[in-house]
Amino acid sequence: ATPMSIMVSVGRAAQMGVLIKNGEALQLASKVTCVVLDKTGTITQGKPSVTDVMIISKSGATSEVDDKDLALQQLFTRVASLERYSEHPLASAVLEEAKVRELVLFEPESFTNVQGKGILGVVDGCSLAVGNRSLMQNEGVSGLDRFDAEISQFSAQAKTPVYIAENGQLSMIIAVTDPIKADAKAAMTALLQSGKRVVLLSGDNIRTAKAVATQVGIKEVIAEVLPEQKQAHIIALQAEGEVVAMVGDGINDAPALVSADVGIAMGDGTQVAIESADLTFLSGRLSVLADTFSLARVSMRNIK
Ligand code: ADP
Ligand code: MG
C-alpha cells in the first residue's frame, strides 16, 4: 500500500511541475548523491544559433567575406540542404541561418547520420561531411590543426565548432552557440550546497563543455561521449557507490536515464526521454532539482 505521505509528496511535487512516476522513484530520489546532467537542452536552452561562418579557400587561408559572398552562400546552401535531414539541435541552427540568408535548399542525393559525430551526404554533386573533429578524422580530412587558434577561441566562448569538408577538403567552419538557461547557475549552486556531486555529461568537445560547466559552476566534466557511452558512464559512477540521478532531454539520453537510479526528463524534451524517466520536469526549469531532492528526503523521513 502507498503510504499517505508519499501521496502527499507526489501531489506537492506536481504543484512544482514535477511529475513522479511512482513511490519507488520518490524513495530513490531521497537517496541521490550524484547528479549527472546532459549539456544540450538540459543546461542550455536547446535553441542553438549560428554565430560565425568561416570559409576556407583552397590555399587554406581564411578570408573575411561578407554575407553576399557567392562561394560561402553556395556551400552554406549545400550544408543546410543536408542538415534538413538531421534531428540534431545543431541542424536547426543551420536551417535557421539558411532562412535568414534566404537560401533555396536542394534535395540531397544521399544522407547518412553518423551517431554522435555528424552527417555525411551528397548534395548538388558534392560529397559533404558536416560534424565534429572526430568525423573529419574518420573521413581522412587533413589540415585541421591550422585552425586551432580560431577553434580555441570559439570553444572558450562556449561555442561549438562545426567542421565542413567538401569532397574531402576542409572548406568551412561554423560556430554555433546555445544560450545557457537563466536558472542553471543558481540550480547548480543549490545542488552543490546540498552536498551533491554534480557532473556534466556531453557529446560535445571537451573545451566547449568545460566553458559551459565553468559558467554554471560545475567542476566535473565528461565530454566527447558517444551516445551509447552515456549509459556506461552512469554505471561507472554507480560502481563508485554513487546513487545517480541523470537529467537529460534527448533520444540519446534514454538508455542513461533508464540506467540511472533516478532518470529525470525535461518536459520540453523528446518523448523517448520522457518515457524512459522516473521524474519529468514539466517546465524544463532546473531550479526545481534541489527542491525535489529535499522534498523526497522529507517525505521518506515521515514514513519511518
Ligand atoms: P550532444 O547532444 O551533447 O551534442 P551528440 O552525441 O548528439 O551530443 O553529438 C555529438 C557531436 O556530434 C555534436 O556536439 C556535434 O559536434 C556533432 N554532430 C552531431 N550531429 C550533427 C549535425 N547534424 N551537424 C553537425 N554536427 C553534428
Ligand atoms: Mg543532447
**Cα(96) to centroid(ligand 1), Å:** 17
- List of residues 6+ apart from 93 with CB closer than 8 A: 48, 49, 50, 176, 178
Reading the block at residue 3, the C-alpha cell is 503510504
Check residue 2 and give its pLDDT.
65
CB 169 within 8 A of CB 139: no
CB 155 less than 6 A from any atom of ligand 1: no
Q: Which protein residue's CA is at the shortest distance from atom 18 of ligand 1?
A: 118
CB 98 within 8 A of CB 105: yes
Write the pLDDT tens digit of every residue in 119-174: 999 999 999 999 999 999 999 999 999 999 999 999 999 999 999 999 999 999 99
pTM of the full predicted structure?
0.87
Write the pLDDT tens digit of every residue in 171-204: 999 999 999 999 999 999 999 999 999 999 999 9
Pocket test for ligand 1, best of 113, 123, 130, 132 (most atoms within 8 A of CB): 132
Which ligand 1 atom is at minimum distance from the Cα of 227?
6
DSSP string, 145-208: GGGHHHHHHHHHTTPEEEEEEETTEEEEEEEEE-PBPTTHHHHHHHHHHTT-EEEEE-SS-HHH
Q: Say whether 261 is catalytic.
A: no
CB 151 less than 6 A from any atom of ligand 1: no
**Cα(87) to centroid(ligand 1), Å:** 10
Check residue 14 and give its pLDDT.
92
Q: Mean pLDDT score of the chain, rounded to an integer?
A: 92
Query: Check: CATH 3.40.1110.10 for 49-177?
Result: yes
Helix, coil or strand: residue 304: coil
**Cα(63) to centroid(ligand 1), Å:** 26
Element (H, E) at 34: strand 34-38
**Cα(102) to centroid(ligand 2), Å:** 28
CATH number of 4-44+180-303: 3.40.50.1000
Q: Which protein residue's CA is at the shortest distance from atom 3 of ligand 1?
A: 203
Instruction: Find where cell 511541475 sits.
Output: 17
What residue spans define the domains of the chain? 4-44+180-303, 49-177
Check residue 66 and give its pLDDT.
54
- Report which bound ligand comes closest to the CA of 116: 1
Main-chain phi, psi angles of 200, to 5 degrees: -95, 125
Check residue 274 and give its pLDDT.
86
- The interface predicted TM-score of the complex, written ipTM, equals 0.95
pLDDT range class, residue 58, cuts 50, 70, 90: low
Give the helix, strand, coil percentages of the chain, each rounded to 5: 45, 25, 30
Q: Is residue 5 over pLDDT 60?
A: yes
Neighbours of 114 (CB within 10 A): 16
